[in-house]
A and B are shown apart, each in its own frame.
Chain A
């Protein structure tokens, strides 16, 4: 029901994977000596290191000698660290619920009517929770007052009639919400989860 970072993850996994793959293949080519043969046959005039050459270039020590090298290293490291932290935080699923819905009044002179989605979702949750076979529900309202979208996470017990509950949600719960908002819903998404405990486990209406 919540939004995840699928596209972001796949993009960065692909980028890092590609870079690692290229480094690995370059290492294999250099270690086996094939890099030298390739460079010679391509005639580009590049001299590739031979397998017996040292892996670390000669000038590495000189590159890191001045003070500025440490500053650059620290700055780059902090940058990478911050990006990695943001990537980590993006893994948290987001609800992305709508902000306060403006129901009436595009003209400020006559006044506004606003409604928090929480008010509406609570009503939806209670109405859905009262249906037979449903042990609980969580609702999310996204979009705007003109184009609202409803997502309900319904927890049913394992003997519930799923199609009947779905029918009631669409005919009763969704249409009640449409009446309250005075607009047709743009999308109604229902996610079923099955719990092992039953509805009305503790009380019996006699």
Chain B
């Protein structure tokens, strides 16, 4: 079997960078605070004064105190959310494009960024006759477009746009071709 390629795949699931950054910063701040508390105790010989008040408050709490209930429920929810964030795959970060004829899957990989698909769709829609303004949201599997038109009777503008855009995405070679959904609104 050939060894694993050194390059990462272009088409990956979300790397969960945002929650990881948030957690890392939080841990860093907590660690800094704890280090400061520890060093204060070592240098001055006494724990910082606010800790005594905190300990007295905590000592007065029984297990069935509402504050403990709230803390326990919040911890459970946060733990569940983090676990789901780690396990669920998340969206693809790019859309696959079919490669040149006769090229092996492992040899040639082609993709387009989600923003690229959105821009392509937006440009195509904006150039269509009868379209005033458009807003596009694109993922690897779906393209949602909202169109504003000055025409009184949009007629079959919606079918026309859906058809032509699907053809354009097929020509670009997106595989699978994203499902195009167009919504038309008249401005007059």
Contacts and interface: CB of A to CB of B under 8 A. Distances in A.
B34 A77 contact: yes
A11 interface: yes
Contacts of A73: 34, 37-38, 41
Interface of B: 5-8, 10, 12-17, 19-21, 23-25, 27-28, 30-32, 34-35, 37-39, 41-42, 47, 55, 58-65, 68-69, 71-87, 94, 97, 99-100, 103, 106-113, 115-117, 119-120, 122-124, 171-173
Contact of A4 (B17, B58, B108): B17
A16 B103 CA distance: 43
Given A13-B23, A70-B42, A159-B123, A25 B76 contact: yes
A79 to B, nearest CB: 8
> What are the 3 A-B residue pairs with the smallest beta carbon separation, nearest first?
A21-B79, A27-B72, A17-B82
26 contacts: A4-B15, A9-B16, A16-B23, A17-B84, A18-B83, A24-B76, A27-B76, A28-B72, A28-B76, A52-B62, A53-B62, A53-B63, A54-B59, A70-B47, A73-B37, A77-B38, A81-B28, A87-B24, A88-B28, A91-B20, A162-B171, A191-B113, A192-B110, A192-B113, A194-B115, A196-B119
A202 interface: no
Given A98-B6, A191-B10, 11 more contacts: A5-B20, A6-B12, A9-B20, A16-B23, A17-B79, A27-B71, A55-B62, A70-B42, A73-B41, A77-B35, A188-B109
Interface string A14-34: 101111111111111011110
B55 A56 contact: yes
A70 to B, nearest CB: 4
Interface in A124-161: 140, 142-143, 147, 149, 151, 158-159
B15 A166 contact: no
B116 A192 contact: yes
Nearest to A7: B15
A38 interface: no
Contacts of A60: 55, 59
A20 B86 contact: no
A74 B72 contact: no
Contact of A55 (B15, B34, B68, B119): B68
B49 to A, nearest CB: 14
Contact of A84 (B27, B78, B115): B27
A17 B187 CA distance: 49
B59 A56 contact: yes
Contacts of A1: 10
A3 B6 CA distance: 10
B86 A88 contact: no
A51 interface: yes
